[in-house]
């Protein structure tokens, strides 16, 4: 089985669990409110702040590595939100080998494909224009597909240079950790914590 196919198979349960997570439900139905969207942004920004800091292995500059924190930073600025990442205690295991990084990036790059669909939903549901009012889910825009193809082709060319078990474990951990951060923000949302509220700025 090709590594990309193995990744898809061995992360299916963790991936599908996110589709039904209570924090994320509105990304696929008409229940989504702007407040819901803000909590979702905060969850992903908190997760990626911790995960990106843990990335210690190198990656070729010409192979896609989605600049998620840049996109999320634009989202938080656009919606006048303050990061709550530092308020969430979490120690991310180091992503210190190319195999671990490949597994992590599989989830990160793959999210741009689903994000493209979600981006259209955000425009219909909330009137948020891709790459103007919302950046993270819009991703690379029309280049999401081509960048994914470049990424998967590179993964396959690495072949025996990767440890398959490390790759699969890292990818599963990424999905599970995203769920953990979504749990955390959902709990904050339910509790009405000020950490999960829109930051108020004077004009």
Task: Encode pLDDT of 180-201 as tens digits.
Answer: 999 999 998 888 776 655 433 3
Quote the CA–CA distance of 100 and 166 in Å, as a whole number.
6
Mean pLDDT on 16-28: 95
Quote the CA–CA distance of 40 and 150 in Å, as a whole number.
28
What pLDDT does residue 194 have?
Answer: 62
What pLDDT does residue 24 have?
Answer: 97
Sequence-separated (6 or more) residues with CB below 8 Å from residue 171: 7, 10, 11, 103, 104, 106, 107
Question: In the 8-state DSSP scheme, what is residue 1?
Answer: -
The stretches of the chain forming alpha helices (DSSP H) are 3-10, 12-19, 34-54, 68-78, 98-126, 144-158, 164-191
How do the domains of the chain map onto residue ranges?
A: 3-192
Quote the CA–CA distance of 171 and 160 in Å, as a whole number.
18
What pLDDT does residue 191 have?
Answer: 82
Residue 31's pLDDT band, with cuts at 50, 70 and 90, is: very high
> Which fold, 3-192?
Heme Oxygenase; Chain A (1.20.910)
What pLDDT does residue 163 have?
Answer: 97
Residue 22's pLDDT band, with cuts at 50, 70 and 90, is: very high
Mean pLDDT on 56-70: 96
164's tokens: 């398959």
Mean pLDDT on 75-91: 94
Burial class (CB in 10 A: 0-12, 13-18, 19+), 80: exposed
What pLDDT does residue 203 have?
Answer: 25
What pLDDT does residue 188 have?
Answer: 86
pLDDT more than 90, % of the chain: 91
Mean pLDDT for all residues in the chain: 93
């Amino acid at each position: 089985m090709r590594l990309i196919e193995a990744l898809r198979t061995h992360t299916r349960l963790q991936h599908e669990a996110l589709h039904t997570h209570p924090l994320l439900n509105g990304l696929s139905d008409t229940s989504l409110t702007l407040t819901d969207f803000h909590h979702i942004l905060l969850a992903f920004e908190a997760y990626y702040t911790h995960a990106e800091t843990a990335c210690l292995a190198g990656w070729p500059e010409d192979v896609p590595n989605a600049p998620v924190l840049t996109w999320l930073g634009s989202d938080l600025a656009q919606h006048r939100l303050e990061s709550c990442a530092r308020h969430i205690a979490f120690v991310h295991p180091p992503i210190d080998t190319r195999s671990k990084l490949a597994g992590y990036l599989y989830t990160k790059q793959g999210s741009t494909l689903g994000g493209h669909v979600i981006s259209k939903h955000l425009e219909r549901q909330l009137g948020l224009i891709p790459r103007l009012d919302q950046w993270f889910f819009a991703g690379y825009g029309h280049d999401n597909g081509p960048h994914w193809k470049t990424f998967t082709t590179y993964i396959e060319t690495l072949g025996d240079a990767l440890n398959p078990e490390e790759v699969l474990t890292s990818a599963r951990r990424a999905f599970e950790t995203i769920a953990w951060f979504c749990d955390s923000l959902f709990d904050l949302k339910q509790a009405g914590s000020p950490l999960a509220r829109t930051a108020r700025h004077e004009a």
